[in-house]
Structure 1
Amino acid sequence: MKSSFASRPVLLMCLALLGPAIASAGQAEDDRLHAATDVLHQISEIPENAIPPELLANAYGIAVIPGVIKAGFVIGGRWGKGVIAVRQDSGWSNPSFITLAGGSIGWQIGAQSTDIILVFKTRRGVENLAASKVTLGADAAVAAGPVGRQASAATDAQMKAEIYSYSRSRGLFAGIALEGAVLQPDEEANAAAYGGNVSSWDVFDNRVFSTPPLAQKFRQALVQYAPPPTR
């Protein structure tokens, strides 16, 4: 049986096991934005195996973490860097940079890279993340999201979740269990991309010194694939 956790000592062991894979996952800000935008463009390619449009249209926030490394031998771990944007009255916000880390114990061997998308249904989960960090399953209820055109495929348990989690591999989206994984702001990346000492909410509210062109492209992709619901 597997059990998820986010305790610091064991998590450090997991990250040590990832070794060179973690180093290669350290993308520059522009590379991260470009990769995240590419993942969004994949959403519409296979509608029957994609995130339901209704779910995206009603999302408060969307996080994209491309190239998440999952590796381990008995003790496993995940590590990735991505971005998150929130829906404002004027449309989608600038993307703020984030990291994801987490581990699990169970019989596992090998390594793989996959893209992760998190769909935030409420403001609370984003507030926790922006303030410090959020542990999925502890600070915010998370469930593997439904796929296909109808969000009604979700179970009752899923509908109570604050966050839907997805993985994308070989062009297909599928729900993924991420209990125990930790999301937190990447303050160094935000400072490098937007200039100065800016918080996640500074980024969301456009209180920044400059905006990278690729951040605008990420926002445009969200407008295209996650427009507001039709009233």
Structure 2
Amino acid sequence: MKKIACLSLGFLLVLPMVANAQDKEEDRVKASGEVLRDILESPDKGIPHDLVDKAECVVIYPSVKKAAFIVGGSYGRGVMTCRTGATFKGPWSAPAMMALEGASFGLQIGGQATDFVLLIMNEKGANSVLSSKVKIGGDASAAAGPVGRNLSAETDVVLKAEILSWSRAQGLFAGVSLTGSTMRADDDANKHLYGHDVSAKDIVFKHEVKAPPSASLLLSELHKISPQRKP
């Protein structure tokens, strides 16, 4: 009886921890949707919509903080959604949780928080990120993204890059190079969000993985701006 009582008590103690972990990931998904909405709907200094049309995946890291400018280390958590299907031409997927590690980002002076948005522009880059840890600028070519809703995406830098990236800090929005950083799936966060072990690749490619309610803003914004991938 004592053993059963101890097991029951342990189970009751674990439940709030699990719920709290899920709530944290839900909040991160919601925050990512808010960041993307604000940037995509910016009247003049957002991401060119034709770039979103050409992208395979979108990655958002809300409120990345750096401990100290001199040290230059950082760690961020966010979400990635990709166009579904074997050739990335379907609707946007449920979000997969992602982690960003490494490099010093020039706009992050002191302890201020910075939002990052990345577009993954081709199947090679998307499959790399979904399969393993990727070093930006090493495993996948990268460039700072152009700023301006109406800018043409037909530039050499854009056409050659597998990953384009932007940052927003204290109201300043700009293309930023994340070369030297690493990006990987956050498996623990995916487990917390969905309630079971699931890989980033399964989230994108398996239709039975349903998006949580917290992803409604994120996905509705993308479906509004770019419902279909353009060649």
TM-score (normalizing by structure 1)? 0.79
CA RMSD after TM alignment: 2.6
Q: Distance in 2 between matches of 1:215 and 1:73?
A: 32
Q: Distance in 2 between matches of 1:209 and 1:92?
A: 12
1:157-192, Cα deviation, whole Å (9 max, x unpaired): 333111110012344531001100110110011111
Corresponding residue for 1:133? 133
Corresponding residue for 2:80? 84
Q: How does 1:13-162 map to 2 (within 5 A)?
A: 28-88=24-84, 89-104=89-104, 110-152=110-152, 155-162=155-162
Corresponding residue for 1:10? none
2:50, 2:153 within 8 Å by CA — same for their partners in 1?
no
* Structure 1 residues 168 and 208: CA distance shift in structure 2, 3 A: same
Q: Distance in 1 between matches of 2:209 and 2:53?
A: 30
1:44 positional shift? 4.0
1:154 positional shift? 6.6
Q: Distance in 2 between matches of 1:110 and 1:159?
A: 34
1:56, 1:227 within 8 Å by CA — same for their partners in 2?
no
- What's the secondary structure of 1:92's corresponding residue? coil
Q: How does 1:199-218 map to 2 (within 5 A)?
A: 199-206=199-206, 211-218=211-218
- What's the secondary structure of 2:111's corresponding residue? strand
1:138-161, Cα deviation, whole Å (9 max, x unpaired): 000110000113343675233311
1:85, 1:95 within 8 Å by CA — same for their partners in 2?
yes
Gaps of 5+ in 1: 1-26
Q: Distance in 2 between matches of 1:168 and 1:121?
A: 20
1:225 lines up with 2:221 in the alignment: no
Q: Distance in 1 between matches of 2:92 and 2:131?
A: 20
Q: Distance in 1 between matches of 2:31 and 2:171?
A: 14
- The count of residues paired between Structure 1 and Structure 2 equals 205
* Structure 1 residues 207 and 229: CA distance shift in structure 2, 3 A: closer
Gaps of 5+ in 2: 1-22
1:84, 1:98 within 8 Å by CA — same for their partners in 2?
yes
Q: Distance in 2 between matches of 1:162 and 1:50?
A: 20
- Matched AA of 2:117: I
1:195, 1:208 within 8 Å by CA — same for their partners in 2?
no
TM-score (normalizing by structure 2)? 0.79
1:1-33, Cα deviation, whole Å (9 max, x unpaired): xxxxxxxxxxxxxxxxxxxxxxxxxx8111101
- What's the secondary structure of 2:224's corresponding residue? helix
Moved more, 58-67 or 172-181: 172-181
Corresponding residue for 2:191? 191
